[in-house]
Amino acid sequence: MLFFTGMPLFLMELSLGQYGAAGPITVWKCCPLLKGIGIGMLCVSTLVCLYYNVIIAWTFYYLGSSFQSPLPWSCDALQNIALCANKTNSTQSPSEVFWNEKVLGVVHSTGLSDPGPVRWPLALCLLAAWIIIFLCMLKGIHSSGKVVYLTATFPYFVLLVLIIRGATLEGSLDGVAFYLTPKWDQLADAQVWNDAASQIFYSLGIGVGGLLSMASYNKFDNNVIRDTIIITIGNCSTSFFAGFAIFSILGHMAFKKGVPVDKVADSGPGLAFVAYPEALALLPGSVFWSILFFLMLFMLGVDTLFGNMEGICTAVLDEFPQLRSNLKHKTLFLAVLCFSFYLMGLLLITDGGIYWFTLIDSFSTSFGLIIITLFMCIGISFFYGVNQFCQDIVDMICRCPPWCTKMLLYFKACWVVFTPFLLTFILTYIFIEMYRTSLRYGSYVYPIWGKALGVCMGALCCLQILIWAIVAISKESGTLKDRFKKSIRPLNSWRVNNINSSSQEQHVEPHTIEGPFTVNLTEADYTGMNWEGISEA
């Protein structure tokens, strides 16, 4: 999935953003018919931002709780002594009780239709999280770029420390062996391929607009092929490296409990907020390790949210450049955006908020995201033209080394054949599974209306492609075929900023006619213009 979907799509977004020097909406000047792809990306990014900062709020809550000794989810805590003493009669561990009762309050809710009151300790944590995001993004790419130096590098230090600590624990090798032992028969399960795609898309930030926005600030001659290879392989290597830190400590946890590793390993929020904290509570100096771990989670969460927020901000500021030029208006816009997200996020930190969180998490980056990236791949390859796109990349990399040219042949084959095929395969599987299986959180089964609401969220994102395609076609004149041909033609301003540009530090709105349109010229149009110097140009 990395080599046939992740890397090709990553390069496509990086190249498109860098060449167009614009965000996820404005960049579709290259093919106005597909403007809905950018708006769909904005919808996906909005849903992700809505629920992802809730994870940071949980992390804040755990980080604050980690300063207590003993840890409130450990067996040494006074309130958990009786619970740990009756292991045979207890259905939940202290970490599960802390998560479900103290943090989420989910025990007080009956389901999706019963959210209950807002949990104010979490509301304060969520407010603090949004204030931090606001302050970090206040000066745009210049401030968030500097913050990333810390948020992106600190987790490596923590992972290295946790790996060294985990290697010294009894049973850690069992956890590592479980992590590294492949089960080849699972390759026949389509769910494995779906999970692999989800991991690649989520970790690389494909399809949410953040890559397009970040790349739009690159220098025009930046080597995007080199960046793609380094970042994508480095990203997956980091994920692989992190697995040793996770499973070495889970192996120790399994050793302590006398159960197989697969009985303590969990996924999703359960791993980060139940299984791993429980494992950390078993370590000597558990308070220190818990603080370190949740500080790392906080850094990773902020880092992820930057990409999504930058995608939204750049898209809006490109469409309304007057906001970009006025610092006061830009600050007000960012404040209103963050506060709006905070108010909407309050639903996710009620007693039943985890049910809404799971619903948005399950459908925000599901089939809608796959459809958006599939149309992006097909649109650039067949409407804009894969040969033209490759030529644009060569034009950016002025001194394109031979290996870059060879790599472009590989990426070209992926864009035209392999990537669309794999995305279609995954999309088909998602629809089959969505029809066959029920959505669950623990023992709670979501009602039909809840699942339908999730499908509507995903559909809203990808339907933007159809809606804005109809708008683009309706603006043109002639037969339907003529309208279609005109709507896939790049606008006149598409290459204005790029042809003689060596850097793209700012998004400049070109003062050109947004063609193609029918213009009736008169004699005054020719006599009133100074054509001197055009032949030399």
Render pLDDT for 82-112 as a digit per residue (tens, 0 to 9).
888 776 666 778 888 999 999 999 999 999 9
Residue 303 is labelled as binding a ligand: yes
What integer pLDDT is reported at residue 505 of this predicted model? 42
What's the distance, Cα to Cα, between the start and end of the chain in Å?
47
Of 54-58, 152-156, 198-202, the one with minimum mean pLDDT is: 152-156
From the CB of residue 87, how many other CB atoms can be counted at a distance below 10 Å? 10
- Band the pLDDT of 224: cuts 50, 70, 90: very high
The answer to whether the CB of 20 falls within 8 A of the CB of 26 is: yes
What mean pLDDT is reported for the chain? 85
* pLDDT tens figures, 428-481: 988 888 878 888 888 899 999 999 999 999 999 999 999 999 999 999 988 999
Which of 384 and 318 is assigned the larger pLDDT? 384
What integer pLDDT is reported at residue 266 of this predicted model? 66
Spatial separation of the C-alpha atoms in residues 126 and 105, rounded to whole Å = 16
Tell me the mean pLDDT in the region 198-222.
Answer: 89
In order of their start, the domains of the chain are: 5-475 (1.20.1740)
Does the pLDDT of residue 503 top 60, yes or no? no
Tell me the mean pLDDT in the region 198-220.
Answer: 89
Q: Return left, alpha or beta for 106; rule: phi > 0 is left, psi -120 to 50 is alpha, else beta.
A: alpha
Q: Which of 103-107, 262-266, 498-502, 520-524 has the highest mean pLDDT?
A: 103-107
* pLDDT tens figures, 325-350: 777 888 899 999 999 999 999 999 99
* pLDDT tens figures, 14-54: 999 999 988 899 999 999 999 999 999 999 999 999 999 99
Strands 444-445 and 440-441, bridge-based pairing: antiparallel
Residue 2 is labelled as binding a ligand: no
Cβ neighbours for 434, distance < 8 A, ≥ 6 positions apart = 366, 367, 455
The residue with tokens 């492609």 is 465
The residue with tokens 């070495």 is 248
Read off the pTM. 0.85
Q: Which of 346, 314, 306, 345 is nearest to 330 (CA)?
A: 314
- Band the pLDDT of 537: cuts 50, 70, 90: very low
Percent of residues in the chain assigned helix, strand, coil, to nearest 5: 70, 0, 25
Residue 203 is labelled as binding a ligand: yes
Does the pLDDT of residue 128 top 50, yes or no? yes
Spatial separation of the C-alpha atoms in residues 50 and 99, rounded to whole Å = 21
Which of 87 and 494 is assigned the larger pLDDT? 494
Token pair for residue 167? Answer: 């290697």
Burial classification of residue 390, based on how many CB atoms lie within 10 Å of its CB (0-12 exposed, 13-18 middle, 19 or more buried): middle
What integer pLDDT is reported at residue 198 of this predicted model? 84
Burial classification of residue 500, based on how many CB atoms lie within 10 Å of its CB (0-12 exposed, 13-18 middle, 19 or more buried): exposed
